Structure 1
Amino acid sequence: MSVIVEQLTKRFTTGGTPAVSDVSFHAPSGAITTLLGPSGAGKSTLLRLIAGLELPDSGSVRIEGIDCTHLPVQQRGIGVVFQSYALFKHMTVRQNIAFGLETRRLPRADVEARVDEMLRLIQLEDLGKRYPTQLSGGQRQRVAFARALAIRPKLLLLDEPFGALDSRVRVELREWLHSLHEQTGVTTLLVTHDQEEALEISQHVVVLSEGRVAQAGPPEDIYDRPATPFVASFVGGTSVLRGHVRSGRAEVGTLVVQAPNSAREGEAVHAFVRPHDIKLAKPPQGTSEPVTGRVERLKSVGGYVKVLLKLPTGETVTVEVPRSEFENLGVVEGDRVHADVRTATVFLGDFAI
């Protein structure tokens, strides 16, 4: 069951800047498609348009080949999970899960059987009689998933479902959602600003910027082959360096990277370099070889050390070095080092990021 969005546009004020502008993409059947982007990119508005909670100014939404653009929410066959859980506090877990089934006037035996099935699916079989206030945040979110899935939706919409949870629980629920999707196979649209979340659990990613699609494709393409400077700067924590083409190479500060084949001599370039794509080396004592930069700051972060490298141009680059490798490197703040760029994404031209 696929979702096809075509040229969707939504303004909240007459003549104002569109929250969503001419958006088109295809969410594959049976996959998790993530709408990824910074705050204000239009992610949640787009999800609400697909859900039928907002109506577009123009464009269309097709779910399973049916034009749902102007259908009411209850006729779209969708389940929705919000960041705030939206559980009924006066109802038990069982009653919350049963709510959508009961509004459809299903036989009591069928409702009870489906609730039992959902409790097993979310691994909360023994907590059916509890109220939401007696559950942890992660458990409440699982109940919200069960309530959305109980009605057997054709499409599951998730609006920042882990946003209110701490980092440890977020990681746990990401893995749980991956397993849940493997069991149900329901087509899913997920809204998030968390790149790691998007890249880890999605089969398809739509990157949004200022209400428009910046790039859409498999996570590997988004990360390894960014199509625009925005995507290159947003995904992967890149440092942005400016320079020019010299003898077929892109010289950015004291770093040298491969230039695009179409580059002309002297043309301006922007190189987007990820922290783990730079290798540092301490020059031997007494050497007269030129160095790349100076270690401005060191910060140990879990299994790696974050190095802030200042180039002679005044630009700074963040480098991530595994702790075991850093111990062998033997550098301290203030040391001058060599830096080799393993790979970088280079765009031609002089433009604002």
Structure 2
Amino acid sequence: MTSRTRSATLSVDTISLVSGRPAFSFTLHAGECLALLMLNDSGQILGTLSDILTGHRTTGNGRLTLLGQDISRRPVGQRGLAAVGARDPLFEHLSVRKNLAFPLRTRKLPQDQAAHKIAQLLALLGLEQQADALPSTLTASERLRAQLARALATDPVVIILEDIFAGLDSETRTDIHQRLIRLQRARETSFLLLTRDRSDALTAASCVGVIADGALLQIGSTTELMERPVSARIAAAMTDANILTGLAITVEDDIVQTRLACGATMEAFAEGDVEEDDLVELCIRPGKIALMFPRGPINTDGAEGSLPATLSDMRNLGDVLVLRVRLADSTEMVVHRPAGSLPPGVAVGQTVLLAWGPSAAMVFPSQDKEG
């Protein structure tokens, strides 16, 4: 985004979602989409955050600022925010056109102006043909687009997207993502996406915050979260990184030699305060692992710097091969390789050697040490 769109639109300060968990803060910039990714959440935390933002729940000691104005105590519907999601459905007895007219009527917009605005929104979301249809006759895509149009009717500063992709088929999901991008560009709309799906967060947003158990674990650009995660949990959540427990044997120039539970010793880059004899978690992304296929029995001395394993499964997903391997201690790992990159004759049950450079893997203090 250019510098002119970097001004703060919505600032959320010291919001607490779960009793006993630390409060957190974040900022949404003008014209951007910020995604908050909820880990292991059934929807309760997601719904709680949405309710706090829209005014259905108190902010407690927290503070909400919209375009520099404190909106923490403003009532529902008067905050400059609009929510779209399953908990804000269309009125089933009203046509799409009348659903869009409802918030305009409550604001006492003149009829001719309201009609013009509704026509613009129907065209913007591709709903001209469905304008007089009831919600029960709409497809999932049309229904969601009508909800977006109704939210836009109030000219909100920020639209909160509350898990809107849940249950959508892949084609509809792609279509809605593309429409949101066009809305951002055409109207400089600011979106806050609350989601439990990583792929939706990465597709929709350039900045992502990861929330677990009511705590904000990390927030930053998608590149930062993937390349510089602050914990093994973030690495696994954002990149499907394999997590291997072990003991730090040596730490030198931020390179940690780690004795893994399976008995092998591997190197990785230290992230955080790692000391010798610490219990650690080594994270390695599936695409960063090299594979070797020895022809004969593996000599333990000759396998130094590599990790013996048994190939347990192979799946061809088109552009990538997904392989599962099992270590000596029965730990399973996932390896990604380009399609067509394996030598002929590779089969399940075969012994393989895994390897990676120290800079390709990360070592974090174990959660036991952090706690």
TM-score (norm 2): 0.85
> Could you report, residue by residue, the CA deviation over 1:194-247 in whole angstroms, capped at 9, with x for unpaired residues?
111112221221211111111111111112111123322322222210122344
> Could you report, residue by residue, the CA deviation over 1:296-330 in whole angstroms, capped at 9, with x for unpaired residues?
2223334333211111232211112232224x364
CA distance in 2, matches of 1:350, 1:150: 47
Name 2:5's counterpart in structure 1.
none
Does 2:121 correspond to 1:101?
Answer: no
Decide whether the 8 Å contact of 1:83 with 1:162 is kept in 2: no
CA distance in 2, matches of 1:202, 1:330: 42
Decide whether the 8 Å contact of 1:93 with 1:143 is kept in 2: yes
Q: Please point out which of 216, 220, 227 is paired with 1:217.
A: 220
Decide whether the 8 Å contact of 1:215 with 1:222 is kept in 2: yes
Does 2:364 correspond to 1:333?
Answer: no
Q: Please point out which of 299, 305, 317 is paired with 2:321.
A: 305
Deviates more, 1:146-155 or 1:197-206: 197-206
Q: Please point out which of 1, 6, 10 is paired with 1:3.
A: 10
From the superposition, tell whether residues 208 and 305 of structure 1 become closer, same or farther in structure 2 (CA, over 3 Å).
Answer: same
Q: Please point out which of 312, 332, 356 is paired with 1:316.
A: 332
Name 2:65's counterpart in structure 1.
62
SS of structure 2 residue aligned to 1:325: coil
CA distance in 1, matches of 2:257, 2:275: 10
Structure 1 gap segments, 5+ residues each: 12-16
From the superposition, tell whether residues 350 and 21 of structure 1 become closer, same or farther in structure 2 (CA, over 3 Å).
Answer: closer
Q: CA deviation at 1:285?
A: 4.5
Name 1:152's counterpart in structure 2.
155
Does 2:54 correspond to 1:51?
Answer: yes
CA distance in 2, matches of 1:7, 1:287: 55
SS of structure 2 residue aligned to 1:142: helix
From the superposition, tell whether residues 75 and 278 of structure 1 become closer, same or farther in structure 2 (CA, over 3 Å).
Answer: same
CA distance in 1, matches of 2:286, 2:47: 30
Name 1:346's counterpart in structure 2.
363
For this pair of structures, how many residues does the alignment match? 346
Structure 2 gap segments, 5+ residues each: 1-7
CA distance in 2, matches of 1:21, 1:263: 24
Q: Please point out which of 283, 286, 310 is paired with 1:275.
A: 286
Decide whether the 8 Å contact of 1:33 with 1:202 is kept in 2: yes
SS of structure 1 residue aligned to 2:329: coil
Decide whether the 8 Å contact of 1:43 with 1:208 is kept in 2: no
CA distance in 2, matches of 1:278, 1:175: 33
Root-mean-square deviation (CA, aligned residues, Å) is: 2.4
Deviates more, 1:119-128 or 1:190-199: 119-128
Identity across matched positions, percent: 25
From the superposition, tell whether residues 96 and 350 of structure 1 become closer, same or farther in structure 2 (CA, over 3 Å).
Answer: closer
TM-score (norm 1): 0.90
CA distance in 1, matches of 2:109, 2:163: 31
